[in-house]
Structure 1
Amino acid sequence: MNQITGLLFDKDGTILDFYKTWIPINRKMALDAAGGDLALCAEILRAAGQDPDTNVVTPGTVLAGGGVEMIAAAFAETLKDRAPTNLIEIISDNFREGGAEHAILIEGALEHMMALGSSGYRLGMATNDTVEGLEASIGKFSGLRDVFEFRVGCDSGHGAKPEPGMGLAFAQALGIDPSSCAIIGDSMHDLEMGKRAGFGLRIGVLTGPALRDDLEPHADVVIESILELAKVLEERRSVTAI
């Protein structure tokens, strides 16, 4: 069992409040794709995983963690010949503009991650948001961007989760073995990426749409939020040292 030195975080539902951040983005994105047609917007949302009446997002659906191309494909499947030719651009613009407007940080997340960095862990972020969306959303919060020495989005050239590319790029950038890395995320996509990349630890958090029963088959441990992360890492470090 390798010592964990690299911590790769998902963004939405892990560091940012998923529902407060993404419900308004998803609604605007679907409405733009529908050309302003409210009934069609509701149809798009429902097919992509968000109940337009309750705003509940179904775990594992594209609106629970898909990248631009995945969401565009899901929207296009519903829209068929009504799909706008600039659908990917519509989604990318909403990622960027919506992130800047609606991003809400989970209370205490920044301080907790700063403490992890100060204790010697090396931190990165991997999101199925675009790079522009990533920078727009985390740039709202003073000091948050600088916590991560590695940041990657779905359009960075390493693929999108659950593919392993983001995780492998993180390990390579830091010069450490993937088995010395942990993925921390709120979705099955995050945890599957960590598995495929050969990460030594997969940690699920319950601050996104997924429930404990959804995450446990894919995770080494499931915690309520990243505010419990330091304790989990300390316990693992103690076991590894024996």
Structure 2
Amino acid sequence: MTRKAIAGILFDKDGTLLDYAKSWVPVNYELARIAARSDEGLARILLQAGGMDPDTGQVAPDSLLAAGNTVEIATGMVRAGAPFSVDELTALFDGLFARSVDYAVPVTDLAAFFASLHAKGYRLGVASSDNERSIRETAKRFGFESYLHYVAGYDSGYGVKPEPGMVLGFCAATGLTPDQVAVVGDNNHDMHMGRSAGVAMTVAVLSGTGSRQSLAAASDHCLMNITELEAVL
């Protein structure tokens, strides 16, 4: 049986389109400060619970801060001692994440990158564990919103990673089938989402928190960053 050509690409956002260390490590420190009500000792505990070394800023692959959605992160912080309800902390984190767009650092010129893929006829989407507002603000800030056929955050109604719902939503929005889609991301939540949906290709990138070792089992290709993508499509 001949495999269908890839016609759609669904990207993760953080660690994939945005450099994770440059964009999110400072946000994680602020997240912990908020969750700890500025208690420095508790903030360190919360960062460690989220998978981040409070001294080095290193975030473990597939940890809560690397791959969790806002509700999951808030839940983990509350369990680790944050003096808030999950709903309160989720609202605070969603606001922080939306504001953090102003400080995000892209992996490449995203407007030019998406324009090139769009010109080649690919249908394009972003599926993130962040909220939908933050995704749209990111696309607007970096000039690629007009090239997107689909946007899904954890709060968009398609379910959460690593469930297949965001991929299936992309297919419904674009008229494609999963075997025409490539999923691109920096952690195993992205790869497992793609595999569970039956996509044609899962592509891991190393601009986030994952490593070649952590991503090898669930990815068909592992690239330094998205600038190498067209070579494998």
TM tier relative to shorter chain:
over 0.9
User: Contact conserved, 1:9 with 1:184, CA < 8 A, in 2?
Assistant: yes
Q: Pick the aligned partner of 1:24 from 17, 23, 26.
A: 26
CA gap of 1:65–1:110, structure 2 versus 1, over 3 A, is farther
2:190 alignment partner AA: D
| Deviation sequence 1:104-134 (CA, Å, 0-9, x none) | 1112443222211101111111000001121
Listed as ranges, the gaps of 5+ residues in structure 2 are none
Q: Which residue of 2 aligns with 1:159?
A: 159
| Separation of aligned partners in 2, 1:45 and 1:154 | 22
Identity %: 36
| Separation of aligned partners in 1, 2:29 and 2:138 | 17
Is 2:79 aligned against 1:77? yes
| Deviation sequence 1:117-157 (CA, Å, 0-9, x none) | 1011111110000011212233222x211121111111001
1:38 alignment partner AA: E
2:70 alignment partner AA: V
Is 2:139 aligned against 1:138? yes
2:231 alignment partner AA: K
Q: Which residue of 1 aligns with 2:148?
A: 148
User: Contact conserved, 1:24 with 1:102, CA < 8 A, in 2?
Assistant: no
| Deviation sequence 1:59-98 (CA, Å, 0-9, x none) | 0101002101110111011016x33461111111111112
Aligned 1:60-71 pairs, distance under 5 A: 60-71=62-73
State the secondary structure of the residue aligned to 2:183.
strand
Q: Which residue of 1 aligns with 2:176?
A: 176
| Separation of aligned partners in 1, 2:165 and 2:48 | 30
Q: Which residue of 2 aligns with 1:239?
A: none
User: Contact conserved, 1:8 with 1:170, CA < 8 A, in 2?
Assistant: yes
* TM-score where L is the length of structure 2: 0.95
1:224 CA displacement: 1.2
Q: Which residue of 1 aligns with 2:229?
A: 229
